[in-house]
A = this chain, B = another copy of it.
């Protein structure tokens, strides 16, 4: 694996200062699992936080000694000589609270009951995540991030950082994201949630004790998600109307290649992802709306921001369309912030932000190289 950060291992941080969520719920103590790549410099000025999206986690780059095929989800972006260069930056990936990859979440044991939180785990907001991430930064002695980077839901966290802690982030890289979801986007999330909520194996969120998993709901949620993360053109190119067996079967088994792909992705996801985590991640997406407290005025919402911004969108991303990124750019310009904007021509829809793409990676590299000039590695 060329330019890989190599073998990595997850670390754990424990917090016993109670965290009050936006919902009012108080989490008395919690753990965050995270990974780091590169070396924190002497004045701790080269730290970059990578925030993950719906199904992401802390394993962002490299691989595990005992599982070499388990490569981080953004390994093409992070490593020695890669755009997010580990020779220059100290990079942190963290599994968000409420997640299902090691940080405290719905499947964790509630110390008050000794049973999994399940339905008792609260709805978490982007704000709540920023707060928990700030505490991790405190623990690592990082007062200010060189950059906070994220795509999709991760981009929302990066933006929120610059609003909640304007002095703690010098650059925000907000990729394939939006200042708030549209009704259509909320609608897709609600169908996915409804699939899980109405799965008889969901048991109102307390399926852990029943030793079952709402696989049907998770599978449907993921199938639907996949359609909306891809573009119509990408699907047409990759699958078209090809039939698996070459002829029509006149039944409801897998028949078209696109069906095979979707059902496979759905089954794979349902085998490992936590249903409660899926619910709360989609709710965090729906709730994010920094303009809500400012009479829906995004310009005013961004008045607090001090960071410089790189905003990136992808032409065929219809779930987080370039138009939404331009809304962000417009609000930043209104507040006389430094903002660079790139609308990348890509056929791969929303998923583009995870993919190897020359132009996209060049833009990221150029911007990040400039950031690296601001400090001494």
| A interface, CB within 8 angstroms of B | 22-25, 122-123, 180-184, 186-188, 190-191, 193-195, 197-200, 216, 219-220, 223-224, 226-227, 230, 232, 235-236, 238-241, 248, 250-252, 255-256, 258-259, 262-263, 266, 279, 283, 286-287, 289
Inside 8 A of A220's CB, which chain B residues have their CB?
Answer: 191, 194-195, 198, 220
Contact A187 to B262, CB < 8 A, known contacts A197-B252, A235-B182, A252-B279: yes
In whole angstroms, what is the CA distance A262 to B248 when docked?
33
Starting from the known contacts A182-B235, A191-B227, 10 additional A-B residue pairs (CB-CB under 8 Å) come to A181-B241, A183-B241, A184-B230, A186-B258, A190-B262, A191-B224, A194-B219, A194-B263, A194-B266, A198-B216
In whole angstroms, what is the CA distance A197 to B283 when docked?
27
Interface of A is mostly: helix
Residue of A227, A230, A252 with most partner-chain B CB within 10 A: A252
Inside 8 A of A239's CB, which chain B residues have their CB?
Answer: 183
Inside 8 A of A286's CB, which chain B residues have their CB?
Answer: 255-256
Whether the pair B190, A250 counts as a contact (CB closer than 8 A) is no
Inside 8 A of A262's CB, which chain B residues have their CB?
Answer: 187, 190-191
Whether the pair B191, A235 counts as a contact (CB closer than 8 A) is no
- Work out how many copies of this chain go into the complex: 2
Inside 8 A of A266's CB, which chain B residues have their CB?
Answer: 194
Query: Which of the residues B25, B184, B219, B250 comes within 8 Å of A122, measured between beta carbons?
Result: B250
Whether the pair A187, B259 counts as a contact (CB closer than 8 A) is yes
Whether the pair A227, B122 counts as a contact (CB closer than 8 A) is no
In whole angstroms, what is the CA distance A226 to B251 when docked?
25
In whole angstroms, what is the CA distance A289 to B236 when docked?
15
In whole angstroms, what is the CA distance A313 to B249 when docked?
31
Whether the pair B197, A195 counts as a contact (CB closer than 8 A) is no
Whether the pair A241, B22 counts as a contact (CB closer than 8 A) is no
Whether the pair B223, A224 counts as a contact (CB closer than 8 A) is no
Whether the pair A182, B279 counts as a contact (CB closer than 8 A) is no
Query: Which of the residues B25, B194, B223 comes within 8 Å of A223, measured between beta carbons?
Result: B194
In whole angstroms, what is the CA distance A258 to B256 when docked?
32
Whether the pair A184, B232 counts as a contact (CB closer than 8 A) is yes
Inside 8 A of A184's CB, which chain B residues have their CB?
Answer: 227, 230, 232, 235-236, 258
Whether the pair A190, B224 counts as a contact (CB closer than 8 A) is no
Whether the pair B236, A182 counts as a contact (CB closer than 8 A) is yes
Whether the pair A250, B23 counts as a contact (CB closer than 8 A) is yes
Inside 8 A of A187's CB, which chain B residues have their CB?
Answer: 223, 226-227, 235, 258-259, 262
